[in-house]
């Protein structure tokens, strides 16, 4: 074992600056083929996708032309030469049978793409609602990370299009402001673990679903990238939570308060008391009620005690109260999404019902429409909007 380690150490020092196969001089004598017109253009109609070159040492750029819908394509065979074309974003090579290789670039058949198809069909038929928005999809056909309600808010969704943590005031550039990677990663973690995670078990997300720049594990804090949570300065030592400042952590902002949010502090206090009793030998512990904290460390919108449910803001201040016994039906369906959105929205605030949910009928600038539980317009009939004076005639 010692001999092996010594040899590895010698070769490691000899070739630390230059790979034994791909030296800095290797690519100097390589003649690279010219890129195609599509790969050079990279515009809406002519574009391609750059991939890792299938050649020694990756000396040359490698790009496949994106084919458009309806163009001929091939799924290929192991004996075929390196391809030069590929069906573009949102498309796949559709063959007539599994035994054939040649086909036509067609739209992917995913839930997200199907929503686009439905929107396009109703737009052509003239039955779209004025507040409906065409669903955006990733190049692989899955849902993008966000969904927006015009003039109100944008929120995070998972790859299946279901709403998850993360919300912000309406923006025209949600693809930049709601990456939602932290929120999506949390969702993946709960699927693997099989339960929700408590505040001390996961990275903290920002309010918009991105990673918060300052993360602390066991009271040791460090900076991470807001997009993917990767440490920004991996070679720098962590900083104790009691010593974090804009001088000890480059990503720390002056206006940030003590690292832990109010809900996290309440949760940790109760957890420490519980663990203290367990340590003292108590086997049965009753009466411990933990607050429900969101992924940014603040209070979840819905809190409850034995008798009531509450809509609260991020600091835990009560906004709506519902008696669980006297009004069980509206208490059971309580999600407080509307009342929370009204705190964020700066332009046109939504109408909320007594339990903080969206009113099924929303009106804007004299026109009324039906909405779902997230506030998105739902248009199931040809006449899905009415003037505000005829609001009572709208069936949702």
CATH of the domain at 91: 2.10.80
Residue 44, in any domain of the structure? yes
108 pLDDT higher than 60? yes
What is the structure's pLDDT at 256? 58
Over residues 217-270, the pLDDT tens digits come to 988 999 999 999 999 999 999 999 989 888 899 898 865 556 889 999 999 999
- Number of domains present in the structure of the chain: 1
Query: CA-CA distance, 231 to 179, in Å (whole number)?
Result: 17
Q: What is the mean pLDDT of residues 269-279?
A: 85
Residue 131, in any domain of the structure? no
**pLDDT band (50, 70, 90) for residue 30:** confident
Long-range contact pairs involving 125-131 (C-beta distance under 8 Å, separation at least 24): 127/379, 127/382, 127/384, 128/379, 129/369, 129/377, 129/378, 129/379, 129/384, 129/385, 130/367, 130/369, 130/377, 130/385, 131/364, 131/369, 131/377
- With tokens 């109010």, the residue in question is 262
Residue 83, in any domain of the structure? yes
What is the structure's pLDDT at 2? 36
> What token pair was written down for 148?
């927006």
Q: Is residue 27 a contact partner of residue 44, using CB atoms and an 8 Å limit? A: no
What is the structure's pLDDT at 259? 81
Residue 182, in any domain of the structure? no
Q: Is residue 206 a contact partner of residue 182, using CB atoms and an 8 Å limit? A: yes
291 pLDDT higher than 60? yes
**pLDDT band (50, 70, 90) for residue 5:** very low
Pairing mode of beta strands 361-364, 367-370: antiparallel
Residue 308, in any domain of the structure? no
Residue 55, in any domain of the structure? yes
Q: What are phi and psi of 59, to 5 degrees?
A: -70, -35
In percent, the amount of the chain with pLDDT more than 70 equals 93
Residue 270 vs residue 5, higher pLDDT: 270
Q: What is the mean pLDDT of residues 367-392?
A: 91
Closest C-alpha among 345, 291, 350, 340 to residue 320: 340
72 pLDDT higher than 60? yes
135 pLDDT higher than 90? yes
Residue 72, in any domain of the structure? yes
Query: CA-CA distance, 198 to 288, in Å (whole number)?
Result: 15
Q: What is the mean pLDDT of residues 150-157?
A: 96
**pLDDT band (50, 70, 90) for residue 8:** very low
Query: CA-CA distance, 37 to 65, in Å (whole number)?
Result: 9
Structural domain containing residue 70 = 31-107
Q: Is residue 267 a contact partner of residue 290, using CB atoms and an 8 Å limit? A: yes
86 pLDDT higher than 70? yes
Query: CA-CA distance, 205 to 214, in Å (whole number)?
Result: 10
What is the structure's pLDDT at 126? 87
Q: Give the containing element (helix H, strand E) for 177.
A: helix 174-177
User: Average per-residue pLDDT in the chain?
Assistant: 89
What is the structure's pLDDT at 23? 79
> What token pair was written down for 130?
């004025």
What is the structure's pLDDT at 3? 36
Q: What is the mean pLDDT of residues 151-160?
A: 96
What is the structure's pLDDT at 1? 37
Residue 224, in any domain of the structure? no
């Amino acid at each position: 074992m010692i001999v092996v380690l010594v040899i590895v150490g010698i070769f490691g020092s000899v070739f630390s600056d230059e790979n034994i196969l791909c030296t800095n001089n290797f690519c100097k004598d390589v003649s690279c083929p010219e890129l195609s017109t599509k790969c050079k253009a990279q515009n809406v109609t002519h574009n391609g996708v750059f991939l890792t070159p299938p050649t020694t040492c990756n000396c040359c750029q490698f790009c496949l032309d994106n084919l458009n819908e309806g163009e001929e394509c091939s799924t290929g065979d192991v004996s075929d030469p390196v391809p030069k074309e590929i069906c573009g974003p949102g498309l796949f090579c559709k063959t007539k049978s599994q035994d054939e290789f040649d086909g036509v670039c067609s739209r992917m058949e995913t839930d997200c793409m199907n929503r686009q198809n439905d929107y396009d069909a109703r737009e052509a038929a003239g039955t779209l609602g004025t507040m409906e928005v065409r669903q955006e999809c990733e190049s692989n056909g899955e849902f993008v990370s966000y969904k927006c309600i015009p003039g109100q808010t944008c929120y995070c969704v998972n790859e299946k299009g279901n709403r998850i943590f993360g919300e912000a005031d309406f923006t025209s550039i949600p693809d930049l402001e709601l990456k939602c990677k932290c929120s999506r990663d949390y969702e993946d973690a709960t699927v693997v673990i099989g339960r929700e995670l408590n505040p001390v078990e996961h990275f903290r997300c920002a309010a918009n679903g991105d990673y918060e720049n300052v993360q602390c594990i066991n009271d040791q804090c460090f900076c991470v990238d807001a997009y993917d949570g990767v440490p920004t300065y991996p070679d720098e030592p962590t900083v104790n939570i009691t010593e974090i400042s804009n001088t000890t952590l480059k990503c720390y902002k002056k206006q940030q308060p003590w690292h832990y949010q109010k809900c996290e502090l309440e949760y940790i206090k109760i957890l420490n008391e519980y663990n203290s009793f367990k340590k003292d030998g108590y086997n049965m512990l009753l009466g411990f009620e933990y607050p429900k904290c969101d992924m940014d460390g603040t209070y979840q919108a819905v809190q409850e005690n034995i008798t009531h449910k509450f809509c609260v803001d991020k600091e835990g201040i009560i906004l709506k109260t519902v008696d669980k016994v006297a009004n069980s039906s509206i208490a059971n369906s309580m999600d407080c999404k509307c009342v929370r959105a009204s705190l964020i929205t700066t332009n046109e605030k939504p109408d909320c019902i007594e339990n903080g949910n969206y009113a099924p009928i929303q009106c804007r600038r004299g026109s009324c429409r039906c909405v779902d539980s997230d506030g998105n317009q739902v248009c199931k009939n040809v006449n899905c909007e009415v003037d505000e004076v005829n609001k009572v005639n709208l069936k949702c």
